[in-house]
Structure 1
């Protein structure tokens, strides 16, 4: 089969389309003919060798895909050949075929296309785990999301709105303000142009925010460590700026707020049934239009370098999706 292959880790990822052996599903796995695959910041970090895990080289990047089931393992009960699904794994999505555990595969509602479906599971799964399971966000609370125009950030804005929160979005440039407002942000802070702490104080009447989801780290995290409301929840999700921050213990003590991590991928592996149920609930909300994933760019998978460049330059808004197979297109090379 054809796949995008990473041969070595480098700041400029060394990727090319080539031939590789199709993965073989295990007893609890689903094999999917990939029609669309998402591109995430995690994919970029992994190809650079900067993520928490390093796959054995060469490997196929990509965490999330959507397509049609072509085979299932002997112990799989929820899926059959021909089902339309979204699926995820630590890597392997940027290929004609992907194998994923049954627990990280979700059926698609009739009205959800492959491009949209590929953008849901990682982004909205992370946002839901952070907001609902970890932060226990309540209707009426104030939520601040940094990196809000990215895939996970925009999902958090959308989901926060759906949960009834007052959403404030933090973005790095003014050209990203429109997309976060469209997904439900009541206010937008351009933290490269404004004094973050002062703006938060102004918008919250000096109270601070109840929940902060931070993807940026560095100075942004430091500012939010001093901008939390009494009993708030500060949730680090990543460190896109490259600086891993720390927090002085007196700050959460003085306002009785919590600092709680949200590593969704590890949680999903440890709690597969709960994760699968959450995936299905989220996809149903996408199907009814109550959640609205934003696919900012869809491009042919031959343009993977362009897609990664958008993420490296922080130009992506929402999810970037690679088109792999078209409906009705046969797989090149069969299962070899």
Structure 2
């Protein structure tokens, strides 16, 4: 099978197309013939060696894929060859075949194309975990989403709007504001010389933000941490700025707000059943048109390095997808 191979951690990434064998699935595993694979910022960090885990070299990058099951291992129940599925793991998506644990696979309903479906688990799964499981979002609450034009950010805007929240979005340039508005943001803040805290307090009538979902870190997290409402929930989910911030403990103390980490990938592996339920619900909402993932471009598998370059230079809105077969 063809696969993208990372043989060393480097920036810019150094990837090659290689021929590899994909073994038969063992107990509890499923082999998927991949048709489409998503590209995420986590994938970029992984091949640069900057993620919190480093896979043994060499490895096939890619977290999320969609395709058709072509073999199942012993003890696998409820899945069979021919099923259209989405699947996730820390690595292995950018190949014509991959082995995945049964617990990390969700069937794709009819009528939903696989290029859209492959973007759901990581981005919308993170959004659902953050908003529903961690923050316990209630209709009418105000949510601020940083990095709102990217994959996870845009999914969070889309889902928060669907769940009845008032959504405020933060983006890095005026050109990225329109996409956040198109998915349900009521107001968009473009980071710049303005005081983020002052802007958020003005947009909330001085009350502050009920739920802050931050994947940027750095100064954005600092401003958001000072603009939380009483009893709010502040969720760090990533640090695309490259700066991991700290939080003065008096800030959550004075407003009784909670700081809640939202690491969906680890949660989905520890708690596969609620994660699978969330996947099924998200796919149903997408099929019904209630959520609208944005696939901005589909590239060939061999263009994986170009896709990562675009992500690294903030040239992507929504998600990039690699067409595998």
Query: Under TM normalisation by the shorter chain, which class is it?
Result: over 0.9
Counterpart of 1:130 in structure 2 is 130
- Cα deviation, 1:188-235, whole Å, max 9, x if unaligned, reads 000135321121111001111000000000110011110000000000
2:169 matches 1:169: yes
Correspondence for 2:292 = 292
Q: CA deviation at 1:63?
A: 0.2
2-side partners of 1:23 and 1:146: how far apart? 41
Q: Distance in 2 between matches of 1:218 and 1:73?
A: 45
Give 1:4's aligned residue. Answer: 4
* Residue of structure 1 equivalent to 2:212: 212
Deviations 1:5-56 (CA, angstroms, capped at 9, x unpaired): 0000011111011111214322111111110000000000000001111111
TM-score, structure 1 length as denominator?
A: 0.95
Quick check: 1:88 aligned with 2:88?
yes
RMSD (Å), alpha carbons: 0.9
- 2:116 corresponds in structure 1 to 116
Give matches, 1:12-31, under 5 Å.
12-31=12-31
Q: Secondary structure at the match of 2:298?
A: strand
Structure 1: distance between partners of 2:25 and 2:317: 34
**Aligned 8 A contact 1:215 1:238 in 2:** yes
Aligned partners of 2:24 and 2:73 also within 8 Å: no
Q: Aligned partners of 1:216, 1:151: CA distance in 2, in Å? A: 13
Which sits farther off after the overlay, 102-111 or 205-214?
Answer: 102-111
Could you tell me which residue of structure 1 aligns to residue 65 of structure 2?
65
Whole-Å Cα distance in 2 between the matches of residues 290 and 23 of structure 1?
39
Q: Decide whether aligned partners of structure 1 residues 56 and 111 sit closer, same or farther in structure 2, where only a CA change above 3 A counts.
A: same
CA distance in 1, matches of 2:138, 2:222: 24
Structure 1 unaligned segments of length 5 or more: list them. Answer: 326-336
* Greater alpha carbon shift after TM alignment, 77-86 vs 163-172: 77-86
Question: Structure 2: how far apart are the matches of 1:46 and 1:222?
Answer: 26
CA contact (8 A) 2:134 2:262 kept: yes
Partner of 2:257: 257
**Secondary structure of 1:136's aligned partner:** coil
CA contact (8 A) 1:103 1:275 kept: no
- 1:45-60 counterparts in 2 under 5 A? 45-60=45-60
In 2, distance between residues paired with 1:26 and 1:132?
34
TM-score by structure 2 length?
A: 0.98
Which consecutive unaligned segments of at least 5 residues does structure 2 have?
A: none
What does the per-residue CA deviation read over 1:242-288, in whole Å, with 9 as the maximum and x for residues that have no partner?
11101111100000000000011111111111111111111111111
Equivalent residue pairs, number: 325
CA distance in 2, matches of 1:320, 1:291: 18
Matched position secondary structure for 1:206: coil
**1:92-147 CA distances to partner (integer Å, 9 max, x unpaired)?**
00000011111111111111101000111110101100110001111000000000
SS in 1 for 2:267: helix
Which residue number in structure 1 is paired with residue 179 of structure 2? 179
Query: What displacement does 1:165 show?
Result: 0.1
Q: Distance in 2 between matches of 1:261 and 1:23?
A: 36
Q: Tell me whether 91-100 or 281-290 shows the greater mean CA deviation.
A: 281-290
What do the CA deviations read for 1:139-197 (whole angstroms, capped 9, x no partner)? 00000000011111000000000100000010001111111111110110001353211
2:76–2:102 Cα contact (<8 Å) kept: yes
Q: Is the 8 A contact 1:222 1:247 kept in 2?
A: yes
Residue equivalent to 2:196: 196
The whole-number CA distance in structure 1 between the counterparts of 2:311 and 2:262 is: 22
